[in-house]
Amino acid sequence: MNITLSVNGEERSSDVEPRRLLVHHLRDDLGLTGTNVGCDTSSCGSCTVLMDGESVKSCTILAVQADGHEITTIEGLAALAPAGDGEAGALHPVQQAFHEQHGLQCGYCTPGMVMAAVSLLAENPHPSEADVRLGLEGNLCRCTGYHNIVRSVLAAAGELPESEEVPA
Amino acid sequence: MTATDVPQAVERGVGARLPRKEDARLLTGEARFVDDLSIPGALWLGMVRSPFAHARLGNVDASAALAIPGVRHVFTGADLRDGWAAAMPCAWPVTEDMKAPDHWPIAVDKACYVGDIVAVVVADSRYAAVDGVDAVEVDYDPLEAVVDLEDAASDRTVIHDGLGTNRSYTWTLVPDPDAVERAFAEAAHVVRERYLQQRLIPVAIEPRGVAAVPGVYGGDLTVYSATQIPHILKIMITATCGVPEAKVRVIAPAVGGGFGSKLNIYAEELIAVALARRLGVPTRWTEGRSENSVATIQGRGQIQDIELAADADGKVTAVRVKLLADMGAYMQLVTPGIPLLGAFLYGGVYDVPAYSFECTGVFTTKTPTDAYRGAGRPEATYAIERAMESLAREVGVDSAEIRRRNYIPSDRFPYDASSGLTFDSGNYEPTLDRALELVDHGGRRAEQQRRRDAGDTKHLGIGIATYVEMCGLAPSRVLASLNYAAGGWEAATVRVLPTGTVQVVSGTTPHGQGHETCWSQIVADKLGVDPDSVEVLHSDTAVSPIGMDTYGSRSLPVGGVAVAMASDQVLDKARRIASHQLECAEDDLELVDGELRVKGTPTKAMTLQAVAFEAFSAHDLPDGMEPNLVGQVTYDPPNFVFPFGTHVAVVEIDEETGGVELLDYAAVDDCGVQVNPMIVEGQLHGGIVQGAAQALWEEAMYDDDGLLRNPTLTDYCVPSTAEVPSIKLDHTVTPSPTNPLGVKGIGEAGTIGSTPTVINAIVDALAPLGITDIAMPATPERVWAAIREAREAQA
Amino acid sequence: MIPAAFDYQRASSVDEAVGLLGEHGDDAKLLAGGHSLLPLMRLRLAAPAVLIDIGRLDDLSYVRSDGGQVLIGALTRHQDLATSDELRDQVPLLAHIAGQIGDPQVRHRGTIGGSIAHGDPASDLPAALLALRGTVVARGPGGEREIASDEMFTGFLETALAPDEVLTEIRVPAVGAAPWGFQKFVRRAQDWAIVGCATVLGNGTSAEPGVGLVHMGATPLRAPGVEDALRSGASPRDAAARADEGTDPPDDLNASAEYRRHLAQVLVRRALESTQP
């Protein structure tokens, strides 16, 4: 079946089998391998992308369901930076915050985690720590214990308390 | 040079919270994991796995599968049996008489666990491979599953006919049996505890994957694998598949977490190689999550019997331990050795005069066990830290006091433990003091009492554990004494390239640990350069041919030390070149701002880059000196390193539901000198949550037929951010005297400390009810049932 | 994992979907947000031969008041329910529950109609529908009919919908400020409830109590014992003691039946004691 998606701002038309999962369409057909697959039950959130600006799990959407919709993957995120000029090498503020706060280690869950955080902040620009923790409930990370992920999201929102470091 | 540039190298060297070099490619989707690789012409493999825990294999009917468009071939164990040069490797036959079955990548006669591969489908696409697997029909003649460890040990049903028993080995460590007997005979207090270490599924968020690309005419072979151990995999591909080692290149591209689960040689890697060579085309395979739960090794799986003897004051006089350890169906790479990594640590941080340890490894019809974050040390720490709580109750002192009475005094280091190891350095009590302070221990205890007095159904519990672990695997001679097949050294090369870039080649294989950043910081310190001008190469056997990879919290204390030593060699050579060209004595040179300057005459100087170029051009080097500015070191550590710390957890238990909430968590750890404190903290955060997950959420649940009941992440409860609190960290610094950086490993410490901390907190909360144990994971239902039972007993 | 192959049909109207269902019979499944069906298909626990995609019927996404009722289009997403001012005002229980289903990504895709038509006993919205004594509207070849929530859930993952009917609308009383409560016991925030319950004391005009239970049997359930007790003026504690009456909760890897019975009593009591507003 022929479908056309707007992916990171570009129209992409393809012929896909109806059962093709959006995540495989993005990865295998469109070469956007930043979106990862970590489970088979919609549990881990590694495959999170934005569909019409909202976080969704691309392993639980058929490519044909996404026909006609706007998809943003991690590869297209930097272009969404408020002051972003789409220049290669620029980072979105959420990506930048993950870098500065050490919100990633192996990096496998990271694209999904970042996209979930972007969607969360779009819905709630000034979240509390509890809001962030609940808002990222659909994304699993095995490396960070989430501590620095939460700090990253709060920092991106400008909500990180200044002196919360434990003094040495 | 501007004023801000001057201190920069120092500020960004050892000790700096330098954001990671690795991040940008991972944050943008640019990093390539195995499944991301585009490999033209690759055929996809799908594994047909036994749905039975124990079954004789009958006919394999591939006709329906082969009729599916895109399915090319189906191979069985018999089809490939003659192609293997050797069975799958176990590198750690812990005793001379250890019994282990041949382990073929595809089962030949019998399947011995759910997930054992019985056939492989080769297809044009990812989807066709899955369809093919679904369509292969295998006749199974089910046999009795062997699930329970003690039942397995009884040999009621023997799994591997040729062995005649399920008991693979018994390994003992009893340096002075009489001393142990005497201590128990004379003890004022004896506690005897039995603890169960449930099986855990490691759940690296990236499932495994492999791609094998054969050079049909050149005879070469490139293998991409989601592995922690490309160097070891290369050797084992030669051993099992018969490819000459010189022809094999193994690359671990971006790897999405390991936690020990990718410290192995897996059937799928070898099948991919064998079929790529047989078919003459690239092959590839990516694991599914539910598949991972049965096909990738699991962790823990022990029954622990621990006894403490103590004098009237609660001073421990002996520790005696007996383990039954679940090997699973086969020996994987280091399966039998995992309990031994804990064997020396059941005395914990305490000054224990007499020690006895025995472990029996037993086969069951379940997924093989092997290294999982901490590997043997979490189990040991759990047992001693739980047992110390029992002793505290027995003696009638609190959790902190029993520990203070028993800590190895700080003036006894290096400390010769009765288990036979020498602990390099330690100072335990300050970590306890600080951790208690961080959770407001006094205030929490008062609140706990207030709630108890008020009959509150929300119980507060405070748990403490102090751990020491042995890591930095490992001194090769010690490994030899444990019958481990390889050494524990690490290699590093440091080169200053003609344009001044410093290139580091490391034999470690990072998969989230930030070696590129940390090694750059070490080099920056040593050579006075900016870490951004350092490039770190790794994880590709063609680029880094010598290495022992990443596991056992070894990378910094072994590999990082090698980098430091190779940098020293570079600096030495640079001094010799500079002294030659500047016509001064080497001793007159000092390294300032990346320049070698003649002391007192700062205008007489050469930058490191200039020296490197001179070394490269080789026009004017000291007589007999080889060109190029390179240092190369293979470092074999003289001892393990022994990080330690104290963790304190505060939990709230809802008596009505049994729900346990982690309210507060503080950890004060000591890994010696910290190269990058931000990365140290990250390792601790992650480790703590992973260890807490064993206490509260995770368990591989098998039914009586040996079927894993919770293979999906819907049912296997890896905690999310919503279940865990922020973590309070602090640290002390007690450098290791055994290496020039003074560093210790920190990759596993969090996991080792947190499991007993959380369970101790739960038991503390429920102590007034007379509850002294709770099985892991402490699910709400288990806690509720324990409370109900205790209430009924009280009534 | 990957679903088995299927034929895909995209319906452009409810009537077309009804026609396609009639054509393909039991082989066909409706696809809305897909967050109940696709996970089963990926594990190959479901393998329908035909999927009829109704996800583009935008006219089935709405929340609107109509007299004493609130009408909700079947394709209204959990996220839309949770953020609907109308629903927060008129049926705050439903908005609250919708905001707690699964995780944000699930709420961005999952629909109320899909959730109710799937009839999963572990799912939250059906229990709320029961507590509210709502109805659903189904359209089939013979036109529309309204099904009372008490008639809706007939067996494990089975509903009163005929194979050729499409659920189009959910109708619930505009209970407004009537006290309500919701409790969901989970091990992890994103999990299905081990046990949950929704309570509404009154429907805006009468004080008729409604109590729905999650994961206490093969279907979403009402707790008639609790409702009877409340009608006769029992305290929350006494009423809640009857929460597991007539239930047959599952015994599975997440909880024993006995524990679920106990939890039902605790959670119903808490829901009644902590009633909002």
Tens-place pLDDT, residues C66-90: 989 999 999 999 999 999 999 999 9
CB within 8 Å of chain B, chain A residues 110-149 = 110-111, 114, 129, 132-134, 136-149
B563-606 pLDDT, tens digit per residue, is: 999 999 999 999 999 999 999 999 999 999 889 999 999 899 99
C-alpha–C-alpha distance, residues B744 and B468, integer Å: 11
Q: How far apart are CA B559 and CA B561, in angstroms?
A: 5
Contact flag B290-C266 (C-beta cutoff 8 Å): no
Task: Encode pLDDT of B16-28 as tens digits.
Answer: 999 999 999 999 9
pLDDT digits (tens, 9 = 90+) for B597-635: 999 998 999 999 999 999 999 999 999 999 999 999 999
Tokens of B570: 């570079």
Peptide bond into B475 cis (omega under 30): no
Q: If interface means Cβ-Cβ distance under 8 Å, which residues of chain C face chain A?
A: 1-8, 10, 31, 34-35, 38-39, 42-43, 51, 53, 55, 79, 102-106, 108-109, 188-190
Q: Note whether C106 contacts A51, CB cutoff 8 Å.
A: no
Residues 6+ apart with CB under 8 A from A13: A2, A3, A4
Q: Residue C274 has what pLDDT?
A: 85
Give the pLDDT band (50/70/90) at residue C277. Answer: low
Residue of A nearest to B691 (CA): A145
Distance CA B579, CA B571 (A): 12
Token look-up 């890896």 returns: B718
CB contact under 8 A, A146 and B712: no
Q: What element of type H or E holds B354?
A: strand B354-363
* CB-based contact C186:C254 (threshold 8 Å): no
Confidence band, pLDDT 50/70/90 cuts, at residue A69 = very high
Buried b (16+ CB within 10 A) or exposed e, C66-103: eeebbbbbbbbbbbbbbebebbbebbbbbbbbbbbbbb
Residue with tokens 């409810």: C14
Record the tokens describing residue B515, joined without a space.
């070696």
pLDDT of amino acid B7:
38
Share of chain B above pLDDT 70, in %: 99
Helices (H), A32-160: 93-100, 110-123, 129-135, 147-156
**Residue spans of alpha helices (H) in B667-779:** 677-696, 749-766
Hunting for tokens 């229990």 — which residue is that?
C127
Q: Comparing C-alpha atoms, which of B211, B245, B361, B391 is closest to residue B301?
A: B361
Least trusted range by pLDDT, from B654-668, B713-727, C21-35, C197-211: C197-211
Predicted local confidence at residue B6, as pLDDT: 36
Quick check: B547 pLDDT over 60?
A: yes
Taking the C-alpha atoms of residue B550 and residue B539, their distance in angstroms, rounded to an integer, is: 10
Instruction: Report the pLDDT value the prediction gives residue B248, as an integer from 0 to 100.
Output: 98
Q: Is the alpha carbon torsion for C111, C113, C118, C119 positive or negative?
A: positive
pLDDT at C206 over 90: no
What pairs with residue C42 in β-bridges? none
Residue type at position B342 = G
The continuous run of DSSP H or E covering B178 comes out as helix B177-186
The whole-model pTM stands at 0.97
Residue B319 φ then ψ, to 5°: -130, 130
- The mean pLDDT value of chain B amounts to 97
**Are residues C263 and B723, on separate chains, in Cβ contact within 8 Å?**
no
Q: Which of C44, C187, C188 sits opposite B134 (nearest CB)?
A: C44
Mean per-residue pLDDT, C209-238: 96
Strands A70-72 and A2-7: parallel
Determine the average pLDDT of the residues in B70-92: 97
| Nearest to C143, CA basis, from C160, C168, C119, C118 | C168
Q: Which residues pair with C213 in a beta bridge?
A: C197, C221
Q: The complex's ipTM?
A: 0.97
C-alpha torsion sign, points B91, B93, B96, B98: negative
Where b means 16+ CB within 10 Å and e means fewer, B42-57 reads bbbbbbbbbbbbbbeb
pLDDT at residue B5, as a whole number: 37
Q: What is the pLDDT of residue C177?
A: 86
pLDDT, tens digit (0-9, with 9 covering 90-100), for A82-134: 654 556 678 999 999 999 999 999 999 999 999 999 999 999 999 999 999 99
SS3 B166: coil
Q: Nearest CB to A40: which of B36, B290, B724?
A: B290
Q: What is the mean pLDDT of residues C164-181?
A: 94
